[in-house]
Amino acid sequence: MRIVVIGATGTIGSEIADALDANHEVVRAHRHGDVKVDLDEPDSIRDMYEQLGELDAVVCAAGIAKFGKLGDLRDADFGLSMRSKLMGQVNLVRYGRERLRDGGSFTLTSGVLAQHPMPGTSAVAMVNGGVESFARAAALELERGLRINVVSPGWVKETMESMGMDSSSGTAARDVAQLYVQAIEGEQTGEVLHP
Ligand SMILES: NC(=O)c1ccc[n+]([C@@H]2O[C@H](COP(=O)([O-])OP(=O)(O)OC[C@H]3O[C@@H](n4cnc5c(N)ncnc54)[C@H](OP(=O)(O)O)[C@@H]3O)[C@@H](O)[C@H]2O)c1
C-alpha cells in the first residue's frame, strides 16, 4: 500500500512509519519535511493531497490541543485545539475521501483523556471525544469500501520520560504504533482502538 503518515517525525508517528516501512511504501509528512503539511491550515492539507496523488491509507499522529484549567484556557486556546487536532484530522478525511483508492483507510488519533479526563484537560478531552465521534459517524457514509478508525493512546512511555514523569505505567510508542498497523491492514471501520 502507499501510505502517508502525518506527524512522521513524532514520538508515535516515527514508530508508525518505521513499522509500516517493511511492507508498504511510506510517505512521511509533517510541517517541516520534504512533504509538508500543516493540519492547522486547510489549504496545506489540500496541497499535500495534490502533491501526493493516489494513496491507499492516511494516518495522522499529529495535532495540538491545549492543556490548562478551565478558568485559564483562553478563546485562542480552544480555537487552536479545535483548528489543529480536531478540524485538522476532520479535514484530512473531508479532502482525502475522493483521493483514496477503493478500500483505502484513514487512521486518526485521539487520546485516553476522551474517556478518562483529569483536571486541566477540558480542551484536550473535548477534541479527543470529537475525533472519535466524527470517525464513528463518518464510517457510516464513506463509500467504495473506505474505512476510518481512531487510535486512542494512553500516556506514552517516551513522552513521560521526556517530561520527567514516572514512566512505569506508560506504553512504549512502538507498541502503540502496532494499533495503527492493525487498523490499516485490518478490516474494521468506525472503531476506536485502545492500547
Ligand atoms: N505522546 C503521548 O503520550 C500521547 C498520548 C495520547 C495522545 N497523543 C496524541 O498523539 C498525537 C501524536 O503525539 P506525539 O507525542 O507523537 O507528538 P510529537 O512527538 O510532538 O510529534 C508530533 C508530530 O507531528 C508533527 N506536527 C506537529 N504539529 C503539526 C501540524 N500542525 N501539522 C502537521 N504536523 C504537525 C511534528 O512535526 P513538525 O513539528 O515538523 O510538524 C511531529 O512529526 C497527538 O495528537 C497527541 O495528542 C499522544
pLDDT in tens, 141-165: 999 999 999 999 999 999 999 999 9
User: Is residue 18 classed exposed, middle or buried when 0-12, 13-18 and 19+ CB atoms within 10 A define those classes?
Assistant: middle
**Helices 11-21, 173-185: crossing angle, 10 deg rounding:** 50
* Alpha carbon distance 56, 149 (integer Å): 14
Q: From the CB of 194, is ligand 1 less than 6 Å away?
A: no
Contact 54, 1 (CB under 8 A): no
Per-residue pLDDT, 18: 98
* Percent of the chain scoring above 70 in pLDDT: 100
SS3 of 186, please?
Answer: coil
Q: Which residues pair with 107 in a beta bridge?
A: 59, 149
| Residue nearest atom 27 of ligand 1, based on CA coordinates | 62
Integer-rounded Cα Rg, in Å, for the chain is: 16
- Looking at residue 51, its pLDDT comes to 97
Nearest to 150 by CA among 83, 67, 86, 102: 86
Q: CA-CA distance, 23 to 149, in Å (whole number)?
A: 20
Query: How far is the C-alpha of 15 from the C-alpha of 32, rounded, in Å?
Result: 18
65-86 pLDDT, tens digit per residue, is 999 999 999 999 999 999 999 9
62 within 8 A of 17, measured Cβ to Cβ: no
pTM of this prediction? 0.98
The residue to which cell 468506525 is assigned: 190
Best mutation site among 5, 11, 131 for ligand 1 pocket (most ligand atoms within 8 Å of CB): 11
* pLDDT (0 to 100) of residue 124: 98
Pick from 15, 30, 82, 89 the residue to mutate for probing ligand 1's pocket: most ligand atoms within 8 Å of its CB: 30
- CA 33 distance to own-chain centroid: 17
Looking at the CA of residue 40, tell me the nearest atom of ligand 1. Answer: 31
What's the pLDDT at 189? Answer: 98
Residue 192 pLDDT: 98
DSSP one-letter code for 33: S
- The pLDDT of residue 106 is 99
pLDDT more than 90, % of the chain: 99
Cα gap 87→130, rounded to integer Å: 9
Ligand 1 site, residue 15, Cβ cutoff 6 A: no
